[in-house]
Chains A and B, each alone.
Chain A
Amino acid sequence: MRDEKASQPSSLSPHPSSRLKRLFSQLRRERRCGFIAYVTCGDPDRDTTVRIVEELERAGTDAVELGIPFSDPIADGPVIQAASQRALKRGTTIRDVFAIARAVRDRSDVPLIAFSYLNPVIRYSAERFAEEAEGAGIDSVLLTDLPVEAAPEVRGALRAHRVGGVFLLAPTSTDARIKAVNRASDDFIYYVSTTGVTGARKELDPALLSRLDEVRRKVTKPLAVGFGISEHAHYEALRGRCDAVVVGSAIVGAIADGAAAGAPARAAAVVRGILDKPPAAP
């Protein structure tokens, strides 16, 4: 079936990242704050990751970041570091991430964002990565150590395969950088809520809300906020101020907190807890 798709002229297939465009315009229409979930692929194993994504969707997740584990994740806190180590120990590679994406894509239209660091991508070759990402139904790519200045290194390959690119803004970003990131990000901008690494936090950065309003006035693309978000109160504080929230460590931590068989349900419970939705009927 995939061969059929590949044999079609490229102009006939929809821009893959149009799934994200559709999502964000729908969220604005519904005046709803979206929920983006991060999972480390291959933790606890490939098949469980596929099942986790399915349960995350059922719990109200609007888009999924598929984390490609990297040996030296400098932007990640202890929870995602440990998950990456476990996934790598099991032998998870970029090919497994594409396999997970294909399995999700076979049954769902949920937007998928590959989330990683630059080295695994350039080692694989940006060209081959983009081609296989497109084939696997991945909509966009976010590389935490690829600043907007260096975007051209992967941009050509991604564009050629109609895969989008997402860039980050941080509390320390200058106005010039905000402008450049707004221009370079295809589908949305990822706003890092606080100076620091990924990881669930009890409280939001006290400066976040006012800073977020300020950044929002300066950008035209949808804005997703991540890092530290782990509780319903955080979601309540942020809805209305951004287009979506991103939750990673809280979900990844729950996945690791028990047997693999229960991981999808535990991940889903985190989403429901943050959205404050009652659990689905058994």
Chain B
Amino acid sequence: MTTLPDRRGYFGEFGGRYVPETLMAALDEFESAYRKLRRDRSFRRELDDILKNYVGRPTPLSEALRFAELCGSFRLFLKREDLNHTGAHKINNALGQALIARRMGKHRIIAETGAGQHGVATATACALLGLQCVVYMGEVDMARQELNVFRMRLLGAEVVPVSSGSRTLKDAINEAIRDWVTNVRTTHYILGSVLGPHPYPMVVRDFQSVIGREALAQLRKRTGGLPDAAVACVGGGSNSIGLFYEMLKHKSIRLIGVEAGGRGPNLGEHAARFSGGAVGVLHGTRSMVLQDEFGQIAETHSISAGLDYPSIGPEHAELQRTGRVEYYNCSDDLALEAFHKLSETEGIIPALESAHALGWLLRNGGSLKGVVVVNLSGRGDKDVPTVAGMRDEG
């Protein structure tokens, strides 16, 4: 098992902690609380109980026979994170961090959200645990994920519209960090992906690694062995690292991350950090960042709000450098095609985010053999209005 990050929070040259001085003490406090609690029996029992009896874990592993036929000649299994309570993998991390926050005595929670899934998950965790919840969301994302805005408000969260910059996930994180700098003594920031300053990339990964752990056990039972490949979409990278983490040590498993190819290869048209980005520091961590020659962060585009982000988790940057994980991208159009195809052939409407992993398989599955597992990270109900709107226009 990999022992990254190192003590200072680096995955090779990526990661670290680049934040205003005001937050440094809070990050230390969070890290030491986490390191203590992850070995604490009562904490783990509490989390396991909630994951089982509230979230509905373990999530099923569904074989997708008809969709697999469209892709190539392999057995395809979907890890059904869409069947978690709240409809995506985000709840695994939101609940874990909310439990830590409560034990740290912090009763005000803030979060950012792009597609709204992390916001809904955090609002849910806060409702369950009796914590105050404020969610920052870009105005563009609020418009395209209206249903999730309504859900968060139903759950008792305050949703704060962010009107600065590109008015998407990046700007929501800026605003959440500004809130945290201001209210750091009473507030815990539940970051939703494997991003941000140390220890977030480690903590979020650890809470999401349940996905791959379950998948490996389920696959062993169903197929008698390890999968040949695992595929997941990569925005910040939490669902993919969640699937991959326990598989890293099994060198025979091909690991494939799929970024948002958007509508073209030019800066501003996509969120493919590995083909268009350069090393940079954004939101507290060093990673691959889409930016101009002067270090100004680029705007991004993706049909899916959850992948629409100019940086990528630092552990992914290191896994790409070492070659352990391969990264490709999938265009808006191909993701949309997969969105429809999975719905029609399997009776499962995937999140547009997850549809990127499926889209890559539709086009590139010919090269795969044996057993393939895809993380179906979320359900697509939230995206139905977006897709319906496109049909109307088209």
| A contacts, CB < 8 Å to B | 70-75, 77, 81, 85, 88, 93-94, 117-124, 144-147, 149-150, 167-174, 177, 181, 192, 195-197
Q: Which of B46-54, B277-285, B328-336, B358-366 contacts A (4 or more CB under 8 A)?
A: B277-285
Q: Are B282 and A170 neighbours in the complex by a CB distance under 8 Å?
A: no
Give residues 238-288 of B contacting A (CB, 8 Å). 278-284
Q: Are B284 and A123 neighbours in the complex by a CB distance under 8 Å?
A: no
Interface centre among B19, B22, B164, B178 (most CB of A within 10 A): B22
Contact of A94 among B17, B23, B294 (CB under 8 A): B294
Given contacts A70-B295, A118-B281, A172-B26, contact A195 B185 (CB under 8 A): yes
The complex places the Cα of A242 from the Cα of B183 at a distance, in Å, of 25
Interface of B is mostly: mixed
Shortest Cβ distance from residue A215 to the other chain B in the assembled complex, whole angstroms: 12
22 A-B residue contacts at CB 8 Å? A70-B296, A71-B296, A72-B165, A72-B171, A73-B174, A74-B283, A85-B165, A118-B18, A118-B281, A119-B291, A119-B297, A120-B295, A122-B279, A122-B281, A123-B295, A144-B20, A170-B20, A171-B22, A172-B26, A173-B24, A174-B25, A195-B184
Q: Are B293 and A173 neighbours in the complex by a CB distance under 8 Å?
A: no
10 pairs of A and B residues whose beta carbons are closest in the complex: A123-B295, A120-B295, A170-B22, A196-B182, A71-B296, A172-B25, A168-B21, A119-B295, A170-B21, A74-B177
Q: Are A88 and B18 neighbours in the complex by a CB distance under 8 Å?
A: no
Q: Are A119 and B181 neighbours in the complex by a CB distance under 8 Å?
A: no
The complex places the Cα of A81 from the Cα of B164 at a distance, in Å, of 9
The complex places the Cα of A174 from the Cα of B23 at a distance, in Å, of 11
Residues of B in contact with A, size category: 35 or more
The complex places the Cα of A199 from the Cα of B41 at a distance, in Å, of 45
Q: Are B293 and A123 neighbours in the complex by a CB distance under 8 Å?
A: yes
Contacting residues, chain B, for A169 (C-beta < 8 A): 21
Contacting residues, chain A, for B22 (C-beta < 8 A): 170-172, 192, 195-196
Interface centre among B17, B18, B280 (most CB of A within 10 A): B18
Give residues 326-376 of B contacting A (CB, 8 Å). none
Interface centre among B20, B282, B297 (most CB of A within 10 A): B20
The complex places the Cα of A70 from the Cα of B282 at a distance, in Å, of 11
Shortest Cβ distance from residue B33 to the other chain A in the assembled complex, whole angstroms: 16
Contacting residues, chain A, for B378 (C-beta < 8 A): none
Given contacts A118-B281, A119-B297, contact A149 B184 (CB under 8 A): no
Contacting residues, chain A, for B178 (C-beta < 8 A): 74-75, 77, 197
The complex places the Cα of A71 from the Cα of B299 at a distance, in Å, of 10
Given contacts A118-B281, A123-B280, contact A197 B165 (CB under 8 A): no
Contacting residues, chain A, for B55 (C-beta < 8 A): none
The complex places the Cα of A172 from the Cα of B187 at a distance, in Å, of 14
Judge whether B16 is part of the interface by a CB distance below 8 angstroms. Answer: yes
Shortest Cβ distance from residue B179 to the other chain A in the assembled complex, whole angstroms: 9
Shortest Cβ distance from residue A219 to the other chain B in the assembled complex, whole angstroms: 14
Given contacts A122-B281, A197-B181, contact A172 B24 (CB under 8 A): yes
Shortest Cβ distance from residue B361 to the other chain A in the assembled complex, whole angstroms: 34
Q: Are B281 and A72 neighbours in the complex by a CB distance under 8 Å?
A: no
Shortest Cβ distance from residue B305 to the other chain A in the assembled complex, whole angstroms: 18
Shortest Cβ distance from residue A90 to the other chain B in the assembled complex, whole angstroms: 13
The complex places the Cα of A30 from the Cα of B240 at a distance, in Å, of 61
Shortest Cβ distance from residue B216 to the other chain A in the assembled complex, whole angstroms: 37
Judge whether B8 is part of the interface by a CB distance below 8 angstroms. Answer: yes
Give residues 8-42 of B contacting A (CB, 8 Å). 8, 16-26, 28
Judge whether B289 is part of the interface by a CB distance below 8 angstroms. Answer: yes
Q: Please, which residue of chain A has its CB at the minimum distance from the CB of B185?
A: A195
The complex places the Cα of A124 from the Cα of B281 at a distance, in Å, of 13
Shortest Cβ distance from residue A211 to the other chain B in the assembled complex, whole angstroms: 13
The complex places the Cα of A224 from the Cα of B24 at a distance, in Å, of 20
Given contacts A124-B294, A195-B22, contact A119 B182 (CB under 8 A): no
Judge whether B382 is part of the interface by a CB distance below 8 angstroms. Answer: no
Chain B 143-178 interface 0/1 with A at a Cβ cutoff of 8 Å (1 = within): 000000000000000000000110000110010011
Q: Please, which residue of chain A has its CB at the minimum distance from the CB of B278?
A: A123
Shortest Cβ distance from residue A227 to the other chain B in the assembled complex, whole angstroms: 10
Shortest Cβ distance from residue A38 to the other chain B in the assembled complex, whole angstroms: 15
The complex places the Cα of A147 from the Cα of B25 at a distance, in Å, of 11
Contacting residues, chain A, for B20 (C-beta < 8 A): 74-75, 144-145, 168, 170, 192
Contacting residues, chain A, for B293 (C-beta < 8 A): 123
Contacting residues, chain B, for A177 (C-beta < 8 A): 21, 24-25
The complex places the Cα of A72 from the Cα of B170 at a distance, in Å, of 8
- If A120-B296, A123-B294 are given as contacts, then 6 extra A-B residue pairs at C-beta distance below 8 Å, sorted by A number, are A119-B280, A122-B281, A147-B24, A171-B22, A177-B21, A195-B22
